[in-house]
Structure 1
Amino acid sequence: MKETILTWLNRLLVADVFLILLGFFWFVVAVIGRSVGVSLGFDLWYKLWQPLFNPAIGILFLGAILTWGINKISQKFNS
């Protein structure tokens, strides 16, 4: 049961990392585009920051802490 939960949690975290990286690269390209006067979606990225990217970063940190905690508890019971 623990292994199944950790497997799905790790899959979720990997997908979350890719979402965050996609958002970061989009942000970089959009800022560069805005600085040269080309619209590359900065306004749309900014609208998605609060409902999409901000929670994704929170989920990543929560998942990392949760994985660490599950592993620590598992080590304590196995010892």
Structure 2
Amino acid sequence: MPDDTSPGPLTVARTLLDRVLVADVFLVLGGAVWFLIAVLLHARAIDAPLTLFKSLWEPLFTPAIGLLMAASLISGALGWWQRRGPGRSRESGS
């Protein structure tokens, strides 16, 4: 007898994607805090944190911000599509 309580592959993929996006949000927020602290330390002539941040900007923070922006756009588009509904026609004005 098959187990009907196990989630489908689409549900598992969505859960995994949600977890990745939550981790991405924390990475971007952590990077923002790090940048703020690094700039404050740079004003006191401590350059190491800002130098490290600059070296990680392209390979780490730029893709993380891009992923976050893409996820928001896709989420908004999917929300609009779901509100629009698959059964509504264009002529109805909805």
Give percent identity, aligned residues only: 34
Matched, 1:64 2:79: no
Cα distance in 1 between the residues matched to 2:16 and 2:54:
30
Paired residues in the alignment total 79
Aligned twin of 1:35: 43
Aligned twin of 1:22: 30
Aligned twin of 1:77: 86
Aligned twin of 1:47: 55
Structure with the higher helix share, 1 or 2: 1
TM-score with structure 2 length normalisation?
Answer: 0.69
- Name the larger-Rg structure: 2
Question: RMSD value over aligned CA atoms?
Answer: 2.2
Q: Specify whether residues 6 and 67 from structure 1 end up closer, same or farther in structure 2 by C-alpha distance, changes over 3 A only.
A: farther
Q: Which of 52-61 and 4-13 deviates more? A: 4-13
Cα distance in 1 between the residues matched to 2:54 and 2:61:
10
Deviation of residue 62 (structure 1)?
A: 0.5
Q: Relative CO higher for 1 or 2, CA cutoff 8 Å, sep ≥ 6?
A: 1
- Partner of 2:86: helix, strand, or coil? helix
CA contact (8 A) 1:13 1:60 kept: yes
Q: Specify whether residues 4 and 74 from structure 1 end up closer, same or farther in structure 2 by C-alpha distance, changes over 3 A only.
A: farther
Point out where structure 1 has 5 or more consecutive residues left out of the alignment.
none
